[in-house]
Structure 1
Amino acid sequence: MLDYVKSILSKVSFDKRLFEKELIKAIALLVEKELYSLKDWCYRNFSSKYNDVLNKHFSGI
């Protein structure tokens, strides 16, 4: 499931609103272990573009 979520986030990364929407879905869908991996991956790939969104949704993780 993690690979699927990464694929979706990569595909919608051109639009901040879509990216945030899909990130919220992904966080609700994944188990804790996968969330840590997703968080690391997101910050490595999207922090320059969507750091505010990532901080907002990963603050409790």
Structure 2
Amino acid sequence: MSRMIYDYTKMVLERVSFDPALFEKELKKALRSLLPYEIEHLRNWLLFFTDEKPELKRCLIYI
């Protein structure tokens, strides 16, 4: 079940990546529902995902 939430979180973040404010909001919401090890996986994924999107890098402070 939790893997589905993690995958859904990634999908939502990919879809809202056009708007940094919305991306930040969805990231904060995701951090409240994910388990600690999932947050670590999400952090690794975000480092890779934001590599080419510098406007989203500021959101990494929440992780």
Q: How does the TM-score come out when normalised to structure 1?
A: 0.86
CA RMSD between the two structures: 1.0
Corresponding position of 1:53? 59
Identity fraction in percent? 37
| Structure 1 stretches lacking a partner, 5+ long | none
Q: Distance in 2 between matches of 1:19 and 1:52?
A: 11
Identify which of structures 1 and 2 has the higher relative contact order when contacts are C-alpha pairs closer than 8 Å and 6+ apart. Answer: 2
- Does residue 18 of structure 1 match 2:19? no
TM-score if structure 2 supplies the norm length?
A: 0.83
**1:21 CA drift (Å):** 0.2
Q: Which runs of 4+ in 1 moved over 4 A?
A: none
Residue correspondences, number:
57
